Structure formats: C-alpha cells, structure tokens
Amino acid sequence: MKNKKLNTTNKLSILFTKNGFSYISTIQGKQRFDSIQVNTNAEHKYIHFVKSYFSSSELLSEKYQEVNVYFNSNKFTLVPNDLFDEELAGNYLQLNTQVSYNDSIRYNVNLDYKFVLVFSYIEKLERFVEAKYSNITYFHSIFSFIEKIKPKKNTVEFHLNFYKNSFDLVAFKGGRLIVATNYEFNSNEDVLYHVLNYAKQQEMISEKTKVYFYGSILENDNKIKLLSEYFLVMPNEKTTFERNYICLI
C-alpha cells in the first residue's frame, strides 16, 4: 500500500492595519504567527518599517505557494452584485470615501449575501508584496470577517472585531447582512457611542440583540461591560487565537 502524500503547501496570510501587521505562516504543516506594532502615522515610515522587517525575517523570506494579503481600513464600500460594474469600481468608492491618487483599488465578491466590496490601499505596499511573493490574493479584512460569521436566522446580531484604534461592525438581522462598517475610536465611550448610534437608527437597541467580540479585546474589557447594559453580550466559543486572527485563519 502506498503512503498518502501529505499536503505540504506553504501558505502565508498577512494582515496590514494602520498600526502594524499580523501574519500566520504555515510551512510543512507547522503554523507560526505574530503581531507587530508600527508606531508611526507617516506612510513612508510605515512602508520602510515593513520592508525592513520582512527583509530581515527568515520566516517571511521563505518560499510560499499561496499568499493571502488582507488590508484593514475604512476605505471600502459595499455594492449590490446586480449593480456592480467593474469599470466603475473606483467611482463607487469615491462616493463614500476619499481615495488618494496613489491608492490601488481592488474588489471582493460575496455570493452568499450578493455584494461586492470595493476597497483601496497603499499602492507602494502592493508593489512591495508583489516583488517579494507570487500567487497572491488580496482581500479587505472585513470581507474575510463577514465570511467567517455564521449568523442565526431568527436573531439580531452585532459582530465587533477590534484593532488597536478601530473596530469593524457587522450586523445581521434574520440571517441577512444589514451593515458592514469600520469606526475609529479613542476611548471606550467612543465605541459605545458608535454602536448605540447605529443601533438606534436601525431600532436594534434591545436586550435580545446579541453582541459578539473578536480581535484585540480582553474578556473583562470595559467596552464589553458598557455594551452589556444595552445588549445581550454573548460568550465567544472561539479560542483566543481564533478571535485574534479570525481574518487570517
């Protein structure tokens, strides 16, 4: 009997955020991961740090057969599938956010909820990644986040994915996607304001509205305590690793 050949595809998933980047590397079945903070608001310094770190990292200099790159930012918009025209992708985005002349524009298609997510990101980052790797697929992180969620059909659910100074809000009602957006915040009260403001507009403030938390947030975080006064905060069955790296796994 012949031994089955193991799948030894080397895979790399990278998430770029405003404040740094995270990655999961899988080489011959062995998984490694890390999160790196970049303490600068200057684009050229951010790019320089990324190039320097990636060049000095043996793990990130390995050969990968599959590379998935995710970007987190508020520069995105959702367009219904039946209204989407690829040639107008940039126009859809400019209606909702400011796009820089040196930004690259891409889009992801979701068939389950019938939308196209158009997003932009730093072109220099794309050029660096493409010079270093091949077989790259690009995503917006909130697109990946949406695809990881399995909402119940008879509930109202808010799913919040936290980064250092921002969070994604994805809401479902009766199993249907209602909104996917991103907010920046400087305090716990900012988070409460954004969630309550949206919930009030949609008449979703209720002790029956379920709220789930992911990303850079502890189980005893004050943001959770504040939101529990208005919503039904749900215990998360995912592990800490799964919550923190939900967009990459």
Q: How many CA atoms lie within 13 A of 183 on its CB side?
A: 19
Query: Span 149-244: which CATH code?
Result: 3.30.420.260
Helix (H, G, I), strand (E, B) or coil at 50: helix
Structural domain boundaries in the chain: 1-148, 149-244
Give the global pTM. 0.91
E strand map for the chain: 11-17, 20-27, 30-37, 66-71, 76-80, 103-110, 115-122, 136-140, 156-162, 166-173, 176-184, 210-215, 232-233
Residue 199 CB-density burial (10 A; 0-12 exposed, 13-18 middle, 19+ buried):
buried
Same fold? 1-148, 149-244: yes
Q: pLDDT tier at 5 (50, 70, 90 boundaries)?
A: very low
Lowest-confidence segment of 57-66, 169-178, 213-222, 240-249 by average pLDDT: 240-249
Q: Over 90: is that where the pLDDT of 109 sits?
A: yes
Give pLDDT, residue 145. 96
Quick count: other Cβ atoms within 10 Å of Cβ 240?
10
pLDDT tens figures, 12-40: 999 999 999 999 999 998 999 999 999 99
pLDDT tens figures, 164-220: 899 999 999 999 999 999 999 999 999 999 999 999 999 898 899 999 999 988 888
Q: Which CATH class, in words, describes the domain spanning 1-148?
A: alpha beta
Angle between helices 123-132 and 43-56 (to 10 degrees): 10
Cβ–Cβ < 8 Å for 71, 136: no
